[in-house]
Structures are given as structure tokens and as C-alpha cells.
Structure 1
Amino acid sequence: MRAWQHPQIPSVPGPSTAPWLHDTASDSLVEAKPTDVARLYVCGITPYDATHIGHAATYLAFDTLQRVWRDAGYRVHYAQNVTDVDDPLLERAIATGVDWRDLAESQVELFRTDMAALRIIPPNDYVAVTDVIDEVAAAVGQLVAAGMAYSVPTADALSVTPVDGTDPVRGSDVYFDIAAAERQTAWQIGDESNLSRADMLLLSAERGGDPDRPGKRDPLDPMLWRAARAGEPAWESEVGPGRPGWHIECSVIALQELGTDFTVQGGGADLIFPHHDMSAGHAAALSGHPLAGVYSHTGMVAYQGEKMSKSLGNLVLVSVLLQQGADARAIRLALLAQHYRTDWTWTDAHLGIGTARLARWTAAFGADAVPGTATSSYVIGTLRTALVNDLDTPTALALVDKAALTGVSDPALLARAVDALLGVDL
């Protein structure tokens, strides 16, 4: 699948190092230091609504991570999925009377446009779930053969005619066997989330799980393959006609594009459980290795007193802000003013602050800037130190604000650093 245009990123003289990130699994800061190439996987969108500020904040956080790695001299291999077939997408397509494929493509294209406007570095591998159906089905078959997956009778599934021509049998959903995976691998449920079982059960019910479904061996066992139902898209496969479950898609795409033990698994905090816990479990069951070294998560963005979400309809859309005349650089600065892993509430004031900051920086470091008293190389060094420390963009912005008051010895050099590290072209 096509991603979007890669922004030009200038090089900046001077040394830097690998960043330290908060790791959800260990609840501590760890050095995200690649052994060779920095390998990053960030979970992508389910394309049934346009890019909102919460989405943008997440992808901007991992854009910043890439810029810090690149500044330290590392090559980056970045992969991202698109969940272009899933229940929420199908429900929205039915509600709006649009074919689900057309809805997905239109929203993916809008997402591409928004990401390009915000100068987000695109993934090297941008993979739609519908492009890896065979690979996911093969992975599910592997787990069944290894005794780490099982079928659950499914009353509303379509009937399937066996290959030997005998009487049709009703298809079944396939579930991951957590207990079997824990016995056969080093992975244990909760390794990534550090949650109690009670909290897991609550979140499973809230976030697409079905803990009360009869026939499951453990209420937390997640679906790997959804058997074909009437009126739903389905693909023929070795495990019967149907479509992928949610978590297995990311496990398969990540292993396919990045391999095992990659550097960072990223996403919003709402993916910690069950998505990232289960994705890690599936990957360990398939490969015998951990999925990633660091699990990094961004905070939630609220609006009008509630977490911003499609289900609530309280969305601030990047595309709408741009249509209303907002400068994409000001949106970027408004988001960078919040630390990536804090929860916060968007208001119109954030955009106003970003717009004013952009004007000050352009005057201080743009083409017509006059040299000042601060040493540019020193300011750049402090900027790097802030970003290496858990992507501390609020401190980084404050440092540039201070330099804008005094002016710097080489405004053009600092402008290059702001572009390279913060993604704002002055």
C-alpha cells in the first residue's frame, strides 16, 4: 500500500545519542538503542473516520522518535498497518450506505493527506490487512497445529463444504489459547500491560473483546479468525472462510516486515490492553521470540470533557482545522507542547498558542532573522538533551522560545535544527 511523501529532513552538525523512552512493560525509562537499524512498529488506523487530533498526537510522538534516532546516526525501518476490514468499519459503512472498501480507501487517502501536511515521516512498509489475508490465515493455522488455538462453535457462521465433498458443516471462530501459549513460550499475559486480571476483563469487554462468550477456554482468549457470516466480507483460507481477528494482524505484519525483537512497539495508551499484550503473545507463539524491546504509549487527548473518540463523536479533525485556515506547523507545535505520554484536553487556545509560537520563531530564526547573543550550537545541544530524555518536547519548545528572545549566533543553523528535530520548517 502507498504511504505519503517523505519530508525533507536536514542534517545538523554535532553529536547525539539514542533516546531514553518510558517502557510500559517495565514501567521505567529504558534506552531505546538499536543494535543496528532502529526498527519501529506503530499500530495504524481503522479507516472509518478522518484523522483527529488524538491520532495526530500519537503519530507525531513516533515521528519525533524517528527524528531523534536519525539525528543520532541510526537508520530507521518503520512499519505500520491499516486495519481496513474490521467491525467498526463495516458498521460505519452500513450506517452511511457506502461500500466498506470505498469508505476505507477514502479515509486512508484523507489520513495520508493529513500526515503529509503535518510532515510526519511515513512508514517504510504501509500494509493493509486485506493485503495479508493469506499470511494471517497461515499464522492461525500454525497456532492451531501447535495446540495454541482452538475452534468455538458459532451459530451464525455460514456453512462450509469440506474438501472431501461430505455434508456441509457450520464454520467456527478460532481463538488464541492463552494458557497453552503461556505453557509453551516465555510470554505471560500481562507482561506488557502490568494489569490485574480484573482490569483485563473490564478492558477486554470495553475494547472489542468478548469475555462472556460461551465455549471459550478463558474469558480473555482473543479471537484469531472470524468465521464467515452472511453479509460480511470473507476470504477462503486453510482455516475456513472468514477474516482476521484484530491482534493477529499486527503480529503477522510486524514479524513479516521487522522480524522479532524489534526496537519499539508504539501506539496510544488505549492499545496497551488487550491489543499490545495479545499481539506480543501471538508473536511469541509464532516465533518463539519477544515481539519488541520497548513498548511505548502515548496519552489520551480529550475534548469537551471526554476522551476524544469516534464513538462519542467529539472529534477535532486535522483536515477541518486545515480547511479553516490553520497552519499545519502551528498544529504540530500545539501538539508538541504536550508531553507525548500525558493525558490532556484540546481547546482552541492550543492552536492559538501554536500559531503565536510559530510567528515568534519565524521572526527569530527565519530568512530575515538578525543574529543574537546565544550560541546556536549550545542551544542545539540543549534541545537534543531534552529530546533524548523521553522525547521531552515541552522542554524543547521552551528552550527554543528562550533562544527566540535573545536571538542566536547562527539563526539559519538553529532553523535547520528545529526542522530536523521538531519537524517545523521555518
Structure 2
Amino acid sequence: MLKVFNTLTRQKEVFTPITSGIVNMYVCGPTVYNYIHIGNARSAIAFDTIRRYFEYKGYHVNYVSNFTDVDDKMIKAAKAANTTVPAIAEKYINAFMEDTNALNIEPATKHPRATENIKDIIAFVQALVAKGYAYEAEGDVYYRARKFKDYGKLSHQNIDDLEVGASQHTDPEEVARKEDPIDFALWKGAKGDEISWDSPWGKGRPGWHIECSVMATKYLGNNFDIHGGGQDLTFPHHENEIAQSEAKTGEKFANYWLHNGFVTVGDDNEKMSKSLGNFVMVHDLLKKEDPQVLRFFMATTQYRRPIQYTQANLEDANNNLKHLQTAFNNLHYRLDDAEEGNDPKTEQEIRQIEADFIDAMDDDFNVQNGIAEVYELAKLANVYAERPVVFKDSIAFILKTLTELVNIFGIKLKAETLNDDGVESLIQERIDARKNRDFARSDEIRAQLKAQGIILEDTPQGTRWHRES
């Protein structure tokens, strides 16, 4: 029975989809004024892993994730580059798709853009004005937050406390236009030659929050299953989405709210910040790190927990991924001498490991306990590969199960065939492992090579190898 932690209720709840067998999920995407950073990647990987687990469980997932392709940051970036907002958007949307593809993140079912939905956004705002939830002020349109009786229910904050915060962080000229400091913009009047669209309130553009309300309800319906995003979006972004959407439709917006944790950088657990000089762009990172290792590193931390990005943690992920690949290789090589038939006892052990994996993942996508079961499966694969007699059907069953489980983490295992350079590379890795007293890795490499028919001989003059005749 799958349970998820719902930010709205602050407790784990049994997941029950609105439509049996279907999951409708909306996840906030990036504002495309620059390359994505590892915080963006963490969110994309976390929800891709959740999506993959739903699909593994047999659900059809309608996954919508937007691009914010017009806002203040976009306008500023376009001016700095002496180009247009659409040109900036196109450049960084393409970069996003390139980077997420490298990380084996499945494309969303739909990737809508704010600028593609301007008519729908205007109609949505008009409906809120007509209901008295919004008002026009000097070309802007604001939402009356205090009119929505449940405002603050997602972030569990008192509206009077929010008013104090709003007064301290809002431009004085904008506060002067508002009826209440806590009110937020649905539509922003154009300034000068800024990118804009015609509207009943004059030329302008959407506010940030309104676009997600419009696109979520347009593509998934007024009420859908899951809304996800980074923890930092809980307030004000998601709080405002609820207020806008439920005021307009009169229906519950999303049934479950899932939020992923932050990424900290370095051994001191510093929050990523441009001012601290620790802002890590995925586009740059992928030039020096294996995308699969980065994916594995982030996918194997439970989505609500923070991730500490360090080189040491990345190296741990690399080593763990190597262990899985080695287990896959060791077993795959035994297909050549395997006998026909199967081993019922071994296959029952595999089924139990998979059942334990499901139990772990059903507990709010607990990937850390889940991956521990995958490591147990890899251990079993290694032990089975060492048996004098193995059976083809059982090998196929183990390989299929291992492939399916690691696929949930976005990892692809494939059989490797080593050439002489590959053998030499592994031998050097084994030598280094022995120097570092990592005898487990040393033994693992020896077993991997042996499974391929490569015999190692440790001599006073160094390690020699030959292929079995």
C-alpha cells in the first residue's frame, strides 16, 4: 500500500488516485533564463524517480512540467545579452532538454510554456476579477489573499505573520498600489518596451504564480492527484496557486503536495548561493562528471531529505554504481556456460528481495531502503555467478529484475565486453584498490575478470593476465 507524505496535512497518507490506474502529476519547472543548477536537477531527478516508480507499479502517468519563459529575470537576462526574451527562452529550454536527457530524465508528457497560454491566463484572471478575488490597480491586477479563507493552509502560516513579511519584502511603490501588502500580482502592467500582450487592463504580462494554476488545470483538470516541486516553492508560489485555483474553480486543486529537499554544497553543508561562489551549474558539471553517477547520487536519497553535494559523496555513488555494474556483468558472462532450466530456490529469493524493495518504496518513496535491497540483489547475483552450475532461466530472471529495479533510479546497466585496454584499465584499478587497502574492490575486479575468462597472476614483477584457453 503506497503512502506519500502530504505537505498539506503534514502526514503520510495512503495514495488513492482520482482515476484508477492513472496518476495526474504537475511539477513546477524552471525559469529559463540560465542553465539549470544542481538544485533544479535534484527536483527533476526526484520526481522522475517517483514517476518511474509509479510506472513500475503499473500506473499510467500524465506528467506535466512547465517552463516559465517570461518574467523579471527573463527580461533582465535578455537586456544583458542584448537579445529578446523568446531568444533567451529558446536557448535555455534547449539546454534544459540536453542536460536532463544526459541525466536520463524522461521528458514530461507535456512541457507547456507560459507564453503559449496567455489567452487562458487572461481568461483565468478575468474570472477571478469577476468573483471579487482580484482587482485592477494602475495596469496591474492583484489577488485579494485575505479573501481566500484558507490562505496559508499549505505552508501552515498565520496570515497576519505573512502580512508583516510581505510589507518588509515588497517594493514600496507596489505596496502603495495594493489594497493589502499580502496581495500578489496576477498580471503586471508593461514598463517601457518590455515584452507584453494586450489585455483588458492594458499591455502587460502574467505574474509568476498564475501560470502554473492555468497550465495545471488546463492539462490535468481542476482537481488532480499530485503537485510537486522544491521545498522553497511551498510559500509563496504553491500557496498562491491553491488560492487562485480553488477560488476560481470551487474545487480542491491537488490532492497530494510533495516537496523535495534542498541541496547543500561542500563539507560545511552550505546552502547553494551565488554570493558564496558555490553555485553549481549542471551544464558545467556534466563536462567533467559521469551523468549516470550524478543521477545515481541524487536518485538514491529520499526526495524529502537534503542532499549534501561533495566530491566524496559523488565518489561513493560512483563506487556503488560500479558494484551494481560488476554484478550484472558477472552474471551475464555465465550465460555462455549456463544449463537449460531454472533454480526455484534462487528465484524465490529474488522475489522476496523485490517484495522488500516494494515495501521500502511504498513508504513515501524511501529510495535509501529501496537501494539497499538492490544491493542485496547484486550480492545474490555475484554469489550465483560463482556457482559451478547455473541455469539460464534463473540468470535471465535475476538480470531482468536487477534491470527493472535500477531503471527506477534512472540507471541503465548493460553487458560489457572488455578489450585488452579495458582489461589493463581494470587491472590498474585493482592495483590502486590494493594500495588503498580496498580489498573488497580488488576481489570484485578479480571476480569480474575471471567471469570473462581472464586469469590474473600476481607476481613480484607485477600483475600479469591471460585468457583461459
Q: Same fold (TM over 0.5)?
A: yes
In structure 2, relative to structure 1, the CA distance for the partners of 1:75 and 1:213 (3 Å cut) is same
Amino acid at match of 1:26: T
2:6 aligns with one of 2, 13, 23: 23
1:203, 1:39 → 2: CA distance? 34
Tell whether the 8 Å contact from 1:415 to 1:425 is kept in structure 2 after alignment. no
Q: Tell whether 2:408 aligns with 1:421.
A: yes
The answer for the alignment partner of 2:80 in structure 1 is 95
Which secondary structure state, in structure 2, belongs to the residue aligned with residue 40 of structure 1? strand
Q: Secondary structure at the match of 1:340?
A: coil
1:418–1:425 CA contact under 8 A, matched in 2: no
**TM-score, normalization by structure 1:** 0.84
**Aligned length in residues:** 385
Name structure 1 gaps, 5 residues minimum: 1-16, 154-171, 183-187
1:239/1:310 CA distance change after superposition, 3 Å: farther
Provide the alpha-carbon RMSD of the alignment: 2.5
The answer to whether the 8 A contact 1:203-1:273 is kept is: no
Aligned to 2:243: 281
Deviation, 1:403, is 2.9
- Using the TM superposition, give the Cα deviation of residue 84 of structure 1 relative to its aligned residue in structure 2, in angstroms: 0.3
Task: Check the 8 A contact 1:272/1:297 in 2, yes or no.
Answer: yes
Q: CA 1:201 to 1:54, structure 2 compared with 1: closer, same or farther past 3 Å?
A: farther
Indicate how the Cα distance of structure 1 residues 230 and 402 shifts in structure 2: closer, same or farther if over 3 A, else same: same
* CA positional deviation for 1:136: 0.4
> Does structure 1 retain, via aligned residues, the 8 Å contact 2:230–2:261?
yes
Q: Tell me how far 1:76 sits from its aligned partner.
A: 1.0
- Where 2:303 maps in the other structure, the secondary structure is coil
Provide the residue aligned with 2:374 in structure 1: 400
Alpha-carbon contact 2:167-2:181 (below 8 Å) kept:
no
Label 1:330 to 1:202 Cα distance change in 2 as closer, same or farther (>3 A): farther
What displacement does 1:314 show?
A: 2.6
Cα distance in 2, alignment partners of residues 284 and 351 from structure 1: 42
Equivalent residue number for residue 123 of structure 2: 138
Partner of 1:341: 304
- Structure showing the higher helix proportion among its residues: 2
* 1:364–1:370 contact (8 Å) kept in structure 2: no
**Cα distance in 2 for residues equivalent to 1:104 and 1:208:** 27
- Deviation of 1:179 after TM superposition, in Å, equals 2.8
Query: What does residue 232 of structure 1 align with?
Result: 194
CA contact (8 A) 1:68 1:388 kept: no
Identify which range, 209-218 or 299-308, moves more after superposition.
209-218
- Distance in 1 of aligned mates of 2:98 and 2:199: 34
CA contact (8 A) 1:209 1:220 kept: no
Alpha-carbon deviation of 1:346? 0.8
Give the secondary structure class of the aligned counterpart of 1:79: strand
Distance (Å, rounded) in 2 between the aligned partners of 1:240 and 1:249: 18
Residue type of the alignment partner of 1:256? K
Please give the alpha-carbon distance, in whole angstroms, between the structure 2 residues aligned to 1:201 and 1:355.
47
The answer to whether the 8 A contact 1:210-1:219 is kept is: no
Consecutive unaligned residues of structure 2, counting only runs of 5 or more, are: 336-342, 385-393, 414-469
Pick closer, same or farther for the CA change 1:206–1:70 going to 2, 3 Å. farther
In 2 relative to 1, CA 79–197 (structure 1 residues): closer, same or farther, beyond 3 Å? same
Q: Give the aligned residue type for 1:368.
A: H
Counterpart mapping for 1:10-409 below 5 A: 17=1, 19-36=2-19, 37-153=22-138, 172-182=139-149, 188-197=150-159, 200-201=162-163, 204=166, 213-304=175-266, 305-309=269-273, 314-324=278-288, 326-366=289-329, 368=332, 375-407=349-381
Deviation (angstroms), 1:337? 2.9
**Corresponding residue number in structure 2 for 1:165:** none
Q: Against the structure 1 CA distance between its residues 275 and 22, is the aligned structure 2 distance closer, same or farther, given a 3 Å change threshold?
A: same
Q: Which amino acid aligns with 1:47?
A: V
CA contact (8 A) 1:174 1:223 kept: yes
Contact 2:51 2:61 in 1 (8 A): yes
Q: Distance in 2 between matches of 1:358 and 1:208?
A: 47
CA gap 1:177/1:287 in 2 versus in 1, 3 angstroms = same
**Aligned-residue offset at 1:197:** 3.5
Instruction: Tell me the secondary structure at the aligned position of residue 126 of structure 1.
Output: coil
| Percent of aligned pairs sharing the same letter | 33
C-alpha separation between the residues in 1 aligned to 2:411 and 2:256?
27
Secondary structure of 2:357's partner?
A: helix
Q: Distance in 2 between matches of 1:223 and 1:313?
A: 32
In the aligned structure 2, how far is the partner of 1:209 from the partner of 1:252? 26
Q: Helix, strand or coil: the match of 2:286? A: helix
Cα pair distance change 1:401/1:45, threshold 3 Å? same
Contact 1:297-1:341 at 8 Å conserved across structures: yes
| Displacement of 1:315 | 2.2
